[in-house]
Amino acid sequence: MESKTVGVIGLGLMGASLCKALGACGHRILGRDTDEHVQKYALLTGTVQEELTDGRTGECDYLFLAVYPGAAVETLKRLAPLVRKDAVVCDLCGVKRAVCGPCFEIAKEYGFTFVGGHPMAGKQYSGIKYADGNLFRNATMILVPREKEDLFLVSRLSEMLRETGFRSVTITTAEKHDEMIAFTSQLAHVVSNAYIKSPTAEEHLSFSAGSYRDLTRVAKLNEAMWTELFLDNAEYLGFELDCLIRSLQEYRDALAEGDAQTLKRLLREGRERKEAIDTE
């Protein structure tokens, strides 16, 4: 793909990693962060080549919004008059309904293309110092185009993203994305964060191995970001929590009653469910 000018707003883990990945592919990278120390670090380390000022917005062939959902909408509202009509804007937020609805309307009003995006990649650490140009290698990128969007533009965006190492690009709707992500990501973060609050956790050293590490990996999260993501997806996340609470109560009741038969059944059902899903 020929070299393009790419703007990235928000130079945290996700945004800075995208800058590094696309920069390594030969694209011109303009970046901006509200934290001036992050901005200077990005320029000093070559994560971005130039600062993305408002005046340079019109130079961007692609503009990525790597900020929280509310900030993504507000940023696009402000910059919309400056975005070229042939440009493609894409967010990297973890929820889609709260972002895509208003951003589709803004893009329609000003005549450019907006595509919702969510890279299924990350680390338990946040911030530009942990940015990694290989973060997206073998990951999946989820895209949410507006209904009846120009498929050529979506394909062009997919092609650019694949340059960074994404194994696949999944096209879906904002509703389906939020429903699925409540289970595959958000619920896992809630469970991990709640699990580590046991008083027994303080004594885990010398008693923990892979199971503990796997279950607690995402407990160390950015509470400001995840609070916004959870509240933006409260309906679907609430449903998943209700399902989990009901299931946990079944295990708890079987233990309290010393009911080995029921406990064995519950464990068997979970094992068989995992095996069936993994072979689909």
How does pLDDT run across 28-86, given as a tens digit for each residue? 999 999 999 999 999 999 999 999 999 999 999 999 999 999 999 999 999 999 999 99
What residues of the chain score a pLDDT lower than 50? Answer: none
pLDDT at 125: 81
pLDDT at 117: 98
pTM (2 d.p.): 0.93
Query: Are 12 and 123 within 8 A, CB to CB?
Result: no
**3-state SS record for 11-79:** CCHHHHHHHHHHHHCCCEEEEECCCHHHHHHHHHCCCCCEECCHHHHHHCCEEEECCCHHHHHHHHHHH
Q: Which residues share a beta bridge with 124? A: none
pLDDT at 280: 62
115: closest CA among 62, 48, 194, 159? 62
pLDDT at 207: 87
Architecture of the CATH domain 177-278 = Orthogonal Bundle (1.10)
Q: Where are the domains of the chain?
A: 5-172, 177-278
Architecture of the CATH domain 5-172 = 3-Layer(aba) Sandwich (3.40)
